[in-house]
Chain A
Amino acid sequence: MSEEIKKAMHQAISDVMNKMFFLPVQINLKGLAVREWFSNRHPLIGAEVGLTGGRLSGYSYLMMPGAAAREMTANFLGIAEKEMKATQERDTVKEALNMITGNMLSQCDKKGFLRIGIPRLINENDLPAGRLDAFDKGAILIETEHSRMAAGIVLRREA
């Protein structure tokens, strides 16, 4: 991930989490692997969205423990966690990624070269072996008051 993209991603995460989810965040710069970052082993949920443009393709992602997704959803919708439906939680995680990715691209891809796909949900249990480790490449580790998240963008250039 280039420094420009990383900076834009930091800004996007902070803007989206503050404005829409009322969650102040801090970016952790210790350089841990995603697996180490979520060391308490609560099941993770998240979302990924494809990015395409010319010879570039890839995806961005957002992963977090269920508790963080519930806190985010409760803040977003203004409802108590006990009133929350699983569909609302999944939808909110996808929308958070959509907003982060869109916000990040509006900072570093002003001409709209990259197109964002439709976000899809990912459950840690559904990931093929090693997929979580693939997220390590350029992962941004995020701390909220009560929890942790990881986000990133992976782009490849076709030969």
Chain B
Amino acid sequence: MSFNVLIVDDSSSMRAVIKKTIRLSGFDVGEYLEAGDGREALELLSNKWVDLVLSDINMPNMNGLEFIAEMKKNELFSSIPVIMVTTEGSEKNIQESIRLGASKYIKKPFLPEDIKKAMHSLVGEEVRDVRGDKESDASGDF
């Protein structure tokens, strides 16, 4: 069964790279939705069905931490898993993400396998192995 993915990042290039990475990993994605900041993402969540969110932290208008906080307050969206894909690798930000309800974090720069592995554990989807399944320490469970 296909699922919809929302990618939240103020860099359109990074959104394109994440999208391409997911596509090449062989996940059965129905629709890719994109938002440039937390506000846009909340608007999209109100109008579209989303099964999984990948979000940056450092964004204008509403950052990724504020976005998850708002998202988790709303019972319609609170159960949607969130993967943080971010340059913000400090323990403080990671702990704050956990507290707010993020399920996984991936530090930029990442390898395609990091996204694949994190998504696989959350959506439980069988994947077509395009590039192997090399372990990497760039992603982690909370």
The B interface, classified by DSSP as helix, strand, loop or mixed, is loop
* B89 neighbours in A (Cβ, 8 Å): 102-103, 105-106
In the complex, the answer to whether A102 meets B108 with C-beta atoms within 8 Å is yes
* B17 neighbours in A (Cβ, 8 Å): 20, 76-77
B12 at the interface (CB under 8 A from A): yes
- Minimal Cβ-Cβ distance residue in A for B9: A95
Chain B proximity of A24: nearest CB distance (Å): 14
Given known contacts A101-B87, A105-B90, A116-B88, A78 and B20 CB-to-CB distance under 8 angstroms:
yes
- Minimal Cβ-Cβ distance residue in A for B138: A19
CB contact list, A63-108 vs B, under 8 A: 73, 76-78, 87-88, 91-92, 94-95, 98-99, 101-103, 105-106
* A56 neighbours in B (Cβ, 8 Å): none
B107 at the interface (CB under 8 A from A): yes
In the complex, the answer to whether A98 meets B20 with C-beta atoms within 8 Å is no
Contact with A along B87-98 (1 / 0, CB 8 A): 111111100000
* A98 neighbours in B (Cβ, 8 Å): 11, 58, 87, 108
- Minimal Cβ-Cβ distance residue in B for A73: B13
- Minimal Cβ-Cβ distance residue in B for A16: B109
Given known contacts A73-B13, A99-B109, A103-B108, A118 and B58 CB-to-CB distance under 8 angstroms:
yes
The A interface, classified by DSSP as helix, strand, loop or mixed, is helix
In the complex, the answer to whether B88 meets A118 with C-beta atoms within 8 Å is no
Measured in the bound complex, the distance between the Cα atoms of B58 and A109 in whole Å is 16
Residues in A lying within 8 Å of B, measured CB to CB: 15-16, 19-20, 73, 76-78, 87-88, 91-92, 94-95, 98-99, 101-103, 105-106, 109-112, 116, 118
